[in-house]
């Protein structure tokens, strides 16, 4: 069988079909050409107004994940912008759109598994996520958007991804409400950034545990 042709080549990477879509980004299956390593390429949707990408979602995610090294947290390899001129095969992609290159985990997310895990597997998932969050919290990083769609199923267990709204303690503050309403702690709903802390993520873990057990979020 002839392998599928890439829709785009840029730098050392090839871009293939989308494997996930969100409100602010699309994730594509990719390949590091020279090293022949599968990767996930997260392409951020461009906004009408010009923004400083380094201080907006992409840069925030890169800075947050760059200081973390844990098997339960996705690794980021590279980031930048797509070329100014794109071929016809890159339909749907914006020129100069920011991108993020990460490990590829092909097992999907926890979303389809809501209400389907037995207790041993559920317990294992929650302990793995708590260990990953402990690593991040010890380094001053709060995820702020923990939900089933942001937990990938890797070969060695669940992997936490999408630090796009992560809050780095003592580095930057934001009064903008960010996160996913069904899993947000009260201080997030109220945009009370002074009250953010590790407990903000632990609240979301409780909501996630509820959703994994019952099949739906508690709120």
Contact assessment for residue 104 and residue 40, using Cβ atoms and an 8 Å cutoff: yes
Q: Which of 147, 113, 155 is nearest to 129 (CA)?
A: 147
User: Could you list the active site residues?
Assistant: 145
Main-chain dihedrals φ then ψ at residue 121, nearest 5 degrees = -70, -40
Q: Which helix (H) or strand (E) holds 57?
A: helix 57-66
Instruction: Give residues with Cβ within 8 angstroms of 2, minimum separation 6.
Output: none
Contact assessment for residue 164 and residue 147, using Cβ atoms and an 8 Å cutoff: no
Q: Is the dihedral of CA 54, 58, 61, 66 positive or negative?
A: negative
Main-chain dihedrals φ then ψ at residue 149, nearest 5 degrees = -70, -15
Instruction: Give residues with Cβ within 8 angstroms of 154, minimum separation 6.
Output: 103, 105, 107
Spatial distance between the Cα atoms of 15 and 87, rounded to a whole number of angstroms: 12
């Amino acid at each position: 069988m002839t392998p599928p042709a890439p829709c785009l080549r840029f730098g050392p990477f090839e871009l293939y079909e989308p494997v996930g879509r969100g409100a602010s980004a699309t994730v594509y299956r990719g390949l590091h050409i020279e090293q022949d390593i599968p990767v996930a390429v997260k392409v951020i949707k461009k906004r009408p107004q010009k923004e400083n990408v380094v201080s907006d979602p992409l840069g925030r995610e890169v800075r947050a994940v760059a200081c973390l090294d844990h098997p339960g947290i996705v690794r980021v390899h590279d980031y930048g912008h797509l070329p100014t001129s794109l071929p016809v095969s890159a339909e749907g992609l914006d020129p100069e759109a920011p991108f993020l290159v990460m490990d590829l985990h092909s097992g999907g997310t926890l979303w389809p598994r809501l209400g389907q895990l037995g207790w041993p597997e559920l317990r294992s998932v929650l302990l793995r996520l708590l260990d990953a969050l402990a690593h991040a919290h010890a380094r001053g990083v709060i995820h702020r958007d923990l939900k089933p769609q942001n937990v990938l199923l890797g070969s060695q267990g669940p992997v936490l991804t999408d630090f796009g709204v992560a809050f780095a303690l003592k580095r930057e503050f934001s009064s903008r409400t960010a996160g996913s309403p069904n899993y947000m702690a009260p201080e997030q709903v109220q945009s009370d950034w002074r009250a953010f802390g590790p407990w903000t993520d632990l609240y979301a873990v409780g909501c996630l545990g509820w959703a994994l057990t019952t099949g739906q979020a508690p709120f």
